Amino acid sequence: MDNESRLVYNKCPSIGPEDEPATKTMVGEMRFFVKWVFLLIAFVAGSAFSDDWPQWRGPDRDGVWREDGIVEAFTGNEIELRWRVPVSSGYSGPAVADGRVYLTDRLTKPKQVERVLCFDWRTGKELWSYDYDCEYRNVSYSAGPRATMIIHDGLAYALGSMGHLHCFDAVTGEVRWRKDLNSEYGIEMPMWGISSSQLIEGDLLITQVGGTPDACLVAFDRRTGGEKWRALEDRASYSAPIVIDQAGKRVLACWTGDNIVGLDAQSGEVYWTHAYPPAQMVLSVASPVFDRDRLFFTGFYEGSLLLGVDPNQLAVKKIWRRLGESEKQTDGLQSIISTPLFIDDHIYGVDSYGELRCLESGSGERIWEDLTAVPRARWGTIHFVRNGDTVWMFNERGELLITSLSPAGLKVLSRAQLIEPTFGQLNERGGVCWAHPAFAYKHIFARNDEALVCASLERPGEE
């Protein structure tokens, strides 16, 4: 009789040696039960403290990173990498889910293709890849795909610059369904291609297509690819939509190429519209920012706009708008790529030439300006992510900054180089890093046009 069986006998005196066969069965069942209890505990603990980053701007699409046990300062001027793998060009950010990292890029030799790549998050080992022919036609800044992938319920969705939409098995890379949106919907192709990251609401995959007729926004069955609804004759923009709760409804808030609209996320019914036509060309890139019944929008040519979201009925109203005399003479916040942050009663973002600014949310008045976070340059870019009381900034020079933002000003707690900027656009200033990074498993995942990197941001001793 083994020691584990004797322990059972000691705790259960009514069991004797003659019951050994039944006891061994009981012990086996207990071992199985204990194993699964430990697995469950590990899973719950992992879920509580290690978050995925499965889509544009994080789990809740709000630029908030909720993990704890994160470093408070870097140990040197350069961040040590966990791994680095070669990739090709693209503006899409990484998505991280279920232990895998997903990315899209573009190759031009021996022919033009877009690729979908999947890596092991711990090692950077490629798990699967998929490529398809994709000739870029009339797309400016043609480095590669723009839209960050979205991973949900075992499926991975990738949207390319010319409108190729694929749904994959997230584990194996098997294509579940695919669509050529340009051919199917007759897209009026934006100057910089299809860029708006998709979102999932219930069983729907909602996409800003810019198609005809009345197909600016199209919702697909996320499992089959079948169209569920289409809406609006507006042109497409580059801004990724969000879903908000308003008056007991789930409202899709989207900045198109012509309007700001609120729709029933399940049916596509238009609830409200606020006209916001482009000042010069369609250049709406930043996502809407929602905070306490307020929606904030910012554009390079359109200036900044705050809408009040009525909590009791499906309506919005303008609170204020600020628009400078020119792109160099701005008063509020006129971002190009960066999506700003709402923190309490203030808005923080990057203006047209890299000026980090703080606005008072009630009036839009500027509280301060800082020129140290990113070099001053046209279309200067920073991606903001909140983690507790700190704001992490990834700027276009490939630097990562740990900061504190308040009405009193910017406080840089630590700053180090994560990845180098690459050439292909804006070469006169040494290239740029324009893709939004992902924060997951207490690590950061970032890309340029040559590599995808991973670095630990875990506080020593937290593992």
Is residue 18 a part of any domain in this protein? Answer: yes
Q: What confidence tens digit (pLDDT) does each residue in 405-429 have?
A: 999 999 999 999 999 999 877 777 8
Q: What angle do CA 206, 212, 216 make, to 5 degrees?
A: 35
Question: If we measure between CA atoms, which residue out of 391, 380, 329 comes closest to residue 355?
Answer: 380
State the number of CA atoms in the 13 A half-sphere of 50 facing the CB. 17
Residue ranges, the chain, pLDDT below 70: 1-50, 463
In whole angstroms, give the CA distance from residue 392 to residue 455: 14
Residue 439 lies in a domain: no
Alpha carbon of 143 to those of 13, 58, 90, 104, 440: distances in Å? Answer: 74, 24, 5, 11, 26
Which residues lie closer than 8 Å to 182 by C-beta, 6 or more apart? 162, 163, 164, 189
- Judged by DSSP in three states, 89 sits in strand
Is residue 384 a contact partner of residue 396, using CB atoms and an 8 Å limit? Answer: no
d(CA 117, CA 97): 13
DSSP code, position 429: G
The stretches of 88-192 forming alpha helices (DSSP H) are: 181-185
Cβ neighbors of 38 (< 8 A, separation 6 or more) are none
**Is-cis flag, bond preceding 86, omega within 30?**
no
Q: Which two tokens stand for residue 48?
A: 């509580």
Beta strands in 8-125 (DSSP E): 83-86, 95-97, 100-107, 113-120
- Residue pLDDT, tens place only, 108-121: 999 999 999 999 99
pLDDT of residue 463: 63
In a domain, 342, yes or no: no
**Which amino acid makes up residue 53?**
W
- Tell me the backbone φ, ψ of residue 93, rounded to 5 degrees: -85, 165
What pLDDT is attached to residue 1? Answer: 44
SS3 state at 82: coil
Question: Structural domain of residue 22, as residue ranges?
Answer: 3-39
* 8 A C-beta contact, residue 143 and residue 424: yes
Whose tokens are 């292909």? That residue is 424
> Do the domain assignments include residue 33?
yes
Which stretch of DSSP H or E encloses residue 223? none
pLDDT at site 69: 96
Please, what sign has the CA dihedral across residues 36, 39, 45, 47? negative
Has residue 329 been placed in a domain? Answer: no
d(C-alpha 431, C-alpha 76), whole Å: 23
Tokens of 167: 């749904």
Residue 80 falls inside a structural domain: no
E strand map for 361-435: 366-370, 382-387, 390-395, 399-406, 409-417
Strand partners for 347? 342, 359
How far is 344 from 369, CA to CA, in rounded Å? 18
Q: Which of 350, 385, 425 is nearest to 91 (CA)?
A: 425
313 domain residue, yes or no: no
- Indicate the number of domains in the chain: 1
In a domain? residue 34: yes
| Identity at 452, one-letter amino acid code | L
* Tokens encoding 333: 């916040």
